[in-house]
């Protein structure tokens, strides 16, 4: 009798457990599979691709400007010594020819000063100042791109975030499902665009100010080097000298020449 009861209780337990086991298996099968997305996949979104281009442009500009804007590069020791040798010997035509044959930032400034030296001190200094302004403008135009990138990078990232959120809400509205976990996952994905924009913009602004100060220091050193070379320059003796490409085309007004001719005839 006892063995029969044990068999019946075992069979009932199996009958009771079988539906529970089946339900557990179905629940496990119905559970959503969590797909993990790597950081590289997040950063490969179409809205972030322009930021990759901005990053590459920042690297190029920083390396290019840093290499060309150092004081040693702008005020080359070899160039300074060469010009000092020519100026000590009074060989200004030689200095002018050397500047033409060895173009550089300092050489361009000295070339402009010598070219306009027959016009006197004011003309020579104005020419050198104009050349220095031109060289500084060439650097500043490149540096300005860093500021532009710093301004537009967060906007690009924010645009990608807004577009992504619009698409996420539209997809959820079309499916008719309001799953908070899916919504938060979609928003978290598109926020990578905003973060990427800030990551690009902050170094761009930092490099902008650092390079601007670096160029300003180098341009000041350039101005000092040019002024040192032209200290006690013999402008009086250079009044009748002409350099290649520095000929003066302005003549006496024709009506003055006519009046002088008539006066001589009278």
User: How would you write the pLDDT of the chain (266 residues) with one tens digit per residue?
Assistant: 545 545 545 545 444 444 434 434 444 444 444 445 554 555 556 677 889 899 999 999 999 999 999 999 999 999 999 999 999 999 999 999 999 999 999 999 999 999 999 989 999 999 999 999 999 999 999 999 999 999 999 999 888 888 878 877 777 777 665 566 666 666 777 788 888 899 999 999 999 999 999 999 999 999 999 999 999 999 999 888 888 876 677 777 777 756 666 666 65
Domain residue extents for the chain: 41-239
State which H helix or E strand residue 102 sits in: none
The CA–CA distances, whole Å, from 218 to 74, 82, 93, 182 equal 7, 20, 27, 55
The CA–CA distances, whole Å, from 84 to 76, 232, 258 equal 12, 13, 46
Question: CB pairs under 8 A, 24+ apart, for 89-96?
Answer: 90/234, 92/117, 92/238, 92/241, 93/243, 96/243, 96/244
Tally: H helices and E strands in the chain: 10, 0
Q: How buried is 112 (Cβ within 10 angstroms: 0-12 exposed, 13-18 middle, 19+ buried)? A: buried
Taking the CA atoms of the chain, what radius of gyration do you get in angstroms? 39
Angle (CA) 85-91-95 rounded to 5° is 70
């Amino acid at each position: 009798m006892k063995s029969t009861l044990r068999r019946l209780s075992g069979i009932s337990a199996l009958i009771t457990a079988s539906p529970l086991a089946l339900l557990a298996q179905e629940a496990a099968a119905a559970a959503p599979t969590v797909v993990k997305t790597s950081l590289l996949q997040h950063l490969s979104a179409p809205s972030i691709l322009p930021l990759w281009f901005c990053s590459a442009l920042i690297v190029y500009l920083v390396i290019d400007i840093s290499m060309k804007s150092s004081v040693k590069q702008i005020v080359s020791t070899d160039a300074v010594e060469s010009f000092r040798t020519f100026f000590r010997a009074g060989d200004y035509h030689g200095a002018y020819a050397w500047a033409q044959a060895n173009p550089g930032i300092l050489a361009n400034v000295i070339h402009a000063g010598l070219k306009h030296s027959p016009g006197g001190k004011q003309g020579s200094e104005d020419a050198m100042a104009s050349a220095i302004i031109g060289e500084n403008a060439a650097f500043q135009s490149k540096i300005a791109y860093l500021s532009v990138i710093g301004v537009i990078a967060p906007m690009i990232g924010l645009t990608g975030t807004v577009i992504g959120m619009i698409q996420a809400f539209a997809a959820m509205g079309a499916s008719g499902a309001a799953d908070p976990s899916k919504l938060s996952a979609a928003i978290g994905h598109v926020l990578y665009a905003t973060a990427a924009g800030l990551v690009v913009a902050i170094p761009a602004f930092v490099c902008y100010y650092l390079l601007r100060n670096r160029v300003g220091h180098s341009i000041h050193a350039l101005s000092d080097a040019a002024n040192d070379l032209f200290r006690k320059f013999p402008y009086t003796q250079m009044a009748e000298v002409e350099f290649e490409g520095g000929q003066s085309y302005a003549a006496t007004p024709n009506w003055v020449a006519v009046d002088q001719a008539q006066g001589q005839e009278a």
